[in-house]
Amino acid sequence: MSEARQWIWHADPVSRKSIVVTIIVVIVLLVADVAAASVQNHKAADAFVASQHLPASPYVHINGWPFVLQGIRGSYRYITVQADPARTSGDADLDVHPMRLSLYGVHTHGGFADATVERATGTARIGYRSLSKGLGKRVVFAGADRISVTSKTTVDGRTYRPSVSARPEVSDGALVFHQVTTTDQKGLPSADLKTLEQIFSGRFELGRFPFGVHPTKVTMLPEGMVFRVTGHDLRLG
């Protein structure tokens, strides 16, 4: 028998009863707090679907204890959100699978639909299919943080399959392409290579990300482009 249990067992009946009642009350409060948090998680998810124009309900988890006090104040220390799928809007219409965010200092003003967020950090993955649609050519992962496009052209009866690769970076909410290189296609007119290189010559606007966050860095992976996203003083309504 543990020391705590021995102490309770040997306490006088009144003290023992008070201890048992206290334990029961604490358990009831914990259960009630968890239940209230679960309800608010679903309410927040529904509000985010509407305010952020999400295609499906996101996973939402309100962190911190006791939850009830946070709910009464309408101020939450830390909320985790996973939206899968999500979409960018505005200058682009890109599929995001998934978007994972940590929202810090969330303050509601009558509900989560009009909440403000002090700071947000997370990641958003965009597949190469979305980038391919925007560029008009099939884009594939080329390794070492690079992507590539391969074309097919016929000159004087001879078929060529030149490819061009580049290293994307984020600049002011858009992708820009550096270190553009083409494969050596002997016999292919330079004009055709220049046309292929034009694919990576401009900026590719990413559009507005849900929750108002903006991309700061991108990493190329076989499964897609993973963006680091951040935001400060955000209004979700």
Domain that holds residue 80: 3-122
pLDDT for 150-177, tens place per residue? 888 777 778 878 889 999 999 999 999 9
| 116 and 133 part of one domain | no
Task: Report the distance separating Cα 178 and Cα 69, nearest Å.
Answer: 51
At 55-101, the pLDDT tens digits run 999 999 988 767 667 777 889 999 999 999 999 987 778 999 999 99
Residue 236 lies in a domain: no
Do residues 14 and 114 share a domain?
A: yes
Q: Give the number of domains in the chain.
A: 2
Estimate to the nearest angstrom the gap between the alpha carbon of 90 and the chain centroid: 18
Query: Is residue 165 assigned to a domain?
Result: yes
The one-character DSSP state at 235 is: E
